[in-house]
């Protein structure tokens, strides 16, 4: 079933609350002060049943300019607006401000209710109606009906209900399969029950028992009970006014402006990328870095507006901007917002969130501006590609991309598959998560690693490769090790790199000795033909070669298996190593065992090298020690 939220708007004392009472039979003013003063201060909520059988929620907003922030907290999620104008006063300042706010928030459906028509004559009513038609000409109410009513006498109330009923049939169904999200507009506690929050469920559905998170406070709770239109319910759907009794949550853990959603389904932010538009009615230019009040969802927060594509924003102009917030909020792409001066307080404009979790942007950066144009375009697949492109450096999971885009999971999967088939996006699969990476970012990593290895090979032409961990920490340091392994494997599949143990190199690279290095190599081989070679430091001095250059050649010979390192201090030529192994096996096969002294004499070396060789053979399970002797395994 479709769920409808109706909201009122208009100047103070124009009869919004009285009209709702005439429609529903209930008074939405609940505070003593409201009843005593006869004005609405806080938001009022009630409901009624339409002729078509639908139950519609109604939000009554205060009309006084001092309570505009309360009005802004109430209009989020409204489907149909009743702009209430008193016939005896006509259009007033708050009428125009409310109308401007509704227009900026993207409200699409509504009509004008001309109240108190019993207080004026027909000629005056006609003049007021002409004035109304002029004022709504550039708004969503252009051409909408004007219904005359007298709430106190009951005149026209049935016409209002009939028109609401008619328009409700034109409202699109809400996305009940989307991520549930409820901006909180009221928090209170009930003895014996605990904390209760109310709000309009913008999308998805909640049910009793759901584990939820309170954003941006980062508190957690469970839905103990639900009420929809003052009646207990097991489940609440998008488009309904909902009261949630939260288990495990104190009253101070949640505030007006908080958002109730599933655990880890949203991400808080201190910046928003937006498209902003100023009202044409303001008489003030807006300069870069101006401090403003932002109203988004039910949240009110101070911010600075950074103009990205100009220095000055004039009335009725639009611009791309980045809002730097003074406290954390959560938002989704496509959310609408209002901007107001805070001293003096008045509305200057509003707009739409293009990126709820952006990086800090430079002003007048053409690449950034083009990215924002794509996000504004509304083409879902291009938006997804742009989000992945911008976030690839952070190696997001598919779930995190889902949060960034606000898409439904089925739609995200469809668009991802399309981008994969086009070659725009690569998806790396781990056991629990999938990681989409844009091909441009992958190619950037690939180019960086190629350049790094090329420089490494040029600097160290005798080394078989660069330590894999060094490459990983430099270019893939902020992603999981298993994911970086998958990316390295992809580079191997493409024939870019190859790996040997913990070293990687460009595919096909082979160490090549220069003429000078070959001379050093020959001297080293000559030295290691003996089982008592000269120490490397002494040999380097004899050859008048820098230690670093000598070590490069020596290590290359170890990598090429011309030299074998038995321990930190013992090296032999590979030829002598195998000769010693043959001598050992031959002697033991004839004598059953061998001692260190016997082995030392056989290969004409010292005790240290003989012991080092025997211990190495022990490690390889060629021999084993029995007392002071070794035997073959």
The full length of the chain comes to 633
Percent of the chain with pLDDT over 70: 96
Q: Output the pLDDT for position 407.
A: 85
Q: Return the percent helix, strand and coil in the chain, to nearest 5.
A: 35, 30, 35
The tokens describing 560, both together, are 């090429």
Per-residue DSSP letter, 528: T
How far the first Cα of the chain sits from its last, in Å, is: 81
Question: Which residue is it, tokens 């227009």?
Answer: 103
Q: Compare 83 and 68 and report the one with higher pLDDT.
A: 83
d(CA 37, CA 17): 13
The rounded distance, in Å, linking the Cα atoms of 93 and 496 is 68
Q: Where are the beta strands (DSSP E) in 87-141?
A: 109-115
* Residue % of the chain over a pLDDT of 90: 66
- Structure-token pair, residue 286: 């807006």
Fold of 181-262: Elongation Factor Tu (Ef-tu); domain 3 (2.40.30)
Task: Report the pLDDT averaged over residues 97-116.
Answer: 93
Residue 182 has a CB neighbour count (10 Å cut-off) of: 27
Q: How far apart are CA 98 and CA 68, in angstroms?
A: 9
Tell me the mean pLDDT in the region 355-366. 94
> What's the whole-number mean pLDDT along residues 510-523?
85
Residue 29: pLDDT band (50, 70, 90) is: low
The domains spanning 181-262 and 516-632 adopt the same CATH topology: no
524-569 pLDDT, tens per residue? 888 888 888 888 887 888 888 888 888 888 888 888 788 888 888 8
Of residues 560 and 369, more confidence is placed in: 369
What integer pLDDT is reported at residue 65 of this predicted model? 54
Question: Among 54-68, 258-272, 474-488, 502-516, where is mean pLDDT lowest?
Answer: 54-68
pLDDT of residue 42: 52
The larger pLDDT score, comparing residue 515 to residue 439, is at: 439
Please report the pLDDT score of residue 96 as a whole number: 92
CA–CA gap between residue 519 and residue 523 (Å, rounded) = 6
> In this predicted structure, what is the pLDDT of residue 549?
83
The answer to whether the CB of 317 falls within 8 A of the CB of 270 is no
- CATH number for 516-632: choose from 3.30.230.70, 3.50.50.60, 1.10.10.10, 3.90.1150.10: 1.10.10.10
User: Mean per-residue pLDDT for 514-533?
Assistant: 85
Q: What is the pLDDT of residue 74?
A: 66
Sequence-distant (6+) residues with CB within 8 A of 93 are 11, 65
Fold designation for 269-368: Elongation Factor Tu (Ef-tu); domain 3 (2.40.30)
Q: Could you say which of 3.40.50.300, 3.40.50.720, 3.40.50.261, 3.40.225.10 is the CATH number of the domain covering 4-168? A: 3.40.50.300
Give the bridge partners for 4, in sequence order.
Answer: 56
pLDDT at 160: 95
| Both structure tokens of 216 | 């941006």
Question: Rounded to whole angstroms, how far apart are CA atoms 230 and 45?
Answer: 10
Which residues does 290 contact at the CB level (< 8 Å), separation at least 6? 304, 305
**Alpha helices (runs of H) in 136-244, residue ranges in sequence order:** 157-168
Domain-wise residue ranges, the chain: 4-168, 181-262, 269-368, 378-512, 516-632
Tell me, what's the pLDDT at 537? Answer: 82
pLDDT tens by residue, 209-238: 999 999 999 999 999 999 998 889 999 999
Give the whole-angstrom CA distance, residue 534 versus residue 524.
Answer: 9
- Rounded mean pLDDT of the chain? 90
β-pair partners for 304: 291, 324
CB atoms inside a 10 Å sphere around CB 468: 18
Range of weakest confidence among 91-105, 119-133, 540-554: 540-554
Count CB atoms within 10 A of the CB of residue 109: 18
What per-residue confidence (pLDDT) applies to 568? 81
pLDDT of residue 63: 47
**Is domain 378-512 in CATH 1.10.10.10, yes or no?**
yes
Strand ranges of the sheet holding 109-115, from the earlier edge strand across to the other edge = 44-49, 55-60, 4-9, 80-86, 109-115, 146-148
CA distance 5 to 78: 5
**DSSP code string of 214-268:** EETTTEEEEEEEEEETTEEESEEETTSEEEEEEET--GGG--TT-EEEETTS---
Q: Which two tokens stand for residue 263?
A: 């655990």
- Candidate ranges 438-442, 499-503, 550-554, 574-578; pick with highest mean pLDDT: 438-442
Higher pLDDT, 74 or 444: 444
pLDDT in tens, 267-276: 999 999 999 9
- Given a cut of 80, whether residue 62 has pLDDT beyond it is no
Q: By mean pLDDT, which of 79-83, 330-334, 376-380 is the weakest?
A: 376-380
Q: Is the pLDDT of residue 313 over 90?
A: yes
- Crossing angle of helices 398-405/409-422, nearest 10°? 110
Those residues with Cβ within 8 angstroms of residue 375's Cβ, 6 or more apart along the chain or in another chain: 273, 333, 354, 355, 383, 386, 387
Backbone angles phi, psi at 439, to 5 degrees: -60, -35
- Given the structure tokens 């002697």, which residue do they identify? 587
3-state secondary structure 401-461: HHHHHCCCHHHHHHHHHHHHHHCCEEEEECCCCEEEEEHHHHHHHHHHHHHHHHHHHHHCC
601's enclosing H/E stretch is helix 596-603
Q: Which two tokens stand for residue 500?
A: 């040997």
The model's pLDDT over 449-505, given as tens digits with 9 standing for 90+, comes to: 999 999 999 888 888 899 999 999 999 988 999 999 999 999 999 999 999 889 999
Q: Rounded distance, CA 528 to CA 335, Å?
A: 75
pLDDT tens, residue by residue, 530-541: 888 888 887 888
The pLDDT of 423-444, averaged and rounded, is 95
Distance CA 12, CA 20 (A): 14
Exposed, middle or buried by CB within 10 Å (0-12, 13-18, 19+), for 236? buried
At 310, is the secondary structure helix, strand, or coil? coil
What is the distance between the alpha carbons of residues 333 and 336, in angstroms, rounded to a whole number?
9
């Amino acid at each position: 079933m479709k769920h409808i939220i109706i909201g009122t708007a208009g100047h103070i004392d124009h009869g919004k609350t009285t009209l709702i009472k005439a429609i529903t039979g209930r008074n939405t003013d609940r505070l003593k002060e409201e009843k005593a003063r006869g004005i609405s201060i806080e938001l009022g909520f009630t409901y009624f049943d339409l002729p078509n059988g639908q139950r519609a929620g109604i939000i009554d907003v205060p009309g006084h300019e001092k309570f505009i922030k309360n009005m802004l907290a109430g209009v989020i999620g409204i489907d149909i607006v009743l702009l209430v104008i008193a016939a005896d006063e006509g259009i007033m300042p708050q009428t125009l401000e409310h109308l401007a706010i509704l227009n900026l928030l993207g409200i699409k459906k509504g009509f004008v209710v001309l109240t108190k028509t019993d207080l004026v004559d027909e000629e005056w009513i006609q003049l007021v109606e002409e004035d109304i038609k002029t004022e709504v000409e550039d708004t969503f109410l252009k051409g909408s009906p004007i219904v005359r009513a007298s709430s106190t006498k009951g005149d026209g109330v049935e016409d209002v209900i009939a028109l609401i009923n008619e328009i409700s049939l034109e409202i699109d169904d809400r996305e009940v399969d989307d991520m549930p999200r409820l901006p909180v507009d009221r928090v209170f506690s009930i003895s014996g029950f605990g904390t209760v929050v109310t709000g309009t469920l913008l999308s998805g559905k909640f049910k009793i028992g759901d584990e939820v998170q309170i954003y941006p406070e980062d508190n957690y709770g469970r839905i103990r009970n639900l009420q929809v239109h003052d009646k207990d319910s097991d489940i609440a759907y998008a488009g309904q006014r909902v009261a949630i009794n939260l288990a495990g949550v104190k009253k101070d853990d949640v505030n007006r402006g908080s958002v109730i959603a599933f655990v880890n389904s949203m991400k808080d932010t201190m910046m928003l990328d937006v498209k902003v538009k100023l009202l044409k009615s303001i008489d003030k230019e807006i300069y870069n870095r101006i401090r403003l009040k932002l109203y988004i969802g039910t949240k009110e927060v101070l911010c600075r507006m950074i103009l990205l594509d100009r220095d000055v924003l004039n009335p009725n102009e639009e611009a791309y901007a980045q809002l730097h917030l003074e406290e954390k909020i959560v938002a989704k792409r496509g959310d609408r917002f209002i901007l107001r001066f805070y001293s003096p307080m008045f509305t200057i404009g509003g707009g739409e969130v293009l990126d709820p979790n952006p990086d800090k942007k430079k002003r007048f950066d053409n690449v950034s501006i083009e990215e924002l144009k794509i996000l504004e375009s509304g083409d879902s697949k291009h938006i997804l590609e742009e989000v992945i492109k911008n976030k690839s450096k952070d190696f997001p999971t598919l779930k995190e991309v889902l949060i960034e885009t606000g898409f439904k999971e089925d739609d995200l999967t469809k668009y991802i598959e399309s981008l994969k088939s086009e070659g725009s996006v690569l998806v790396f699969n781990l056991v629990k998560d999938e990681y989409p990476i844009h091909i441009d970012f992958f190619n950037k990593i690939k180019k960086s690693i190629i350049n790094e290895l090329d420089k490494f090979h040029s600097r160290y032409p005798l080394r078989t490769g660069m330590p894999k961990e060094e490459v990983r920490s430099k270019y893939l340091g902020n992603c999981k090790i298993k994911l970086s392994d998958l990316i390295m494997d992809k580079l191997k599949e493409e024939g870019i790199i190859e790996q040997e143990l913990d070293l990687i190199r460009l595919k096909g690279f082979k160490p090549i000795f220069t003429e000078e290095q070959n001379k050093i190599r020959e001297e080293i081989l000559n030295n290691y033909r003996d089982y008592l070679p000269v120490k490397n430091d002494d040999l380097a001095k004899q050859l008048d070669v820098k230690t670093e250059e000598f070590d490069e050649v020596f290590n290359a010979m170890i990598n090429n298996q011309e030299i074998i390192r038995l321990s930190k201090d013992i090296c032999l030529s590979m030829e002598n190593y195998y000769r010693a192994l043959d001598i050992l096996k031959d002697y033991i096969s004839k004598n059953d065992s061998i001692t260190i002294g016997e082995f030392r004499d056989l290969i004409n070396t010292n005790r240290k090298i003989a012991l080092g060789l025997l211990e190495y053979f022990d490690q390889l399970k060629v021999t084993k020690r029995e007392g002071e002797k070794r035997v073959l395994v």
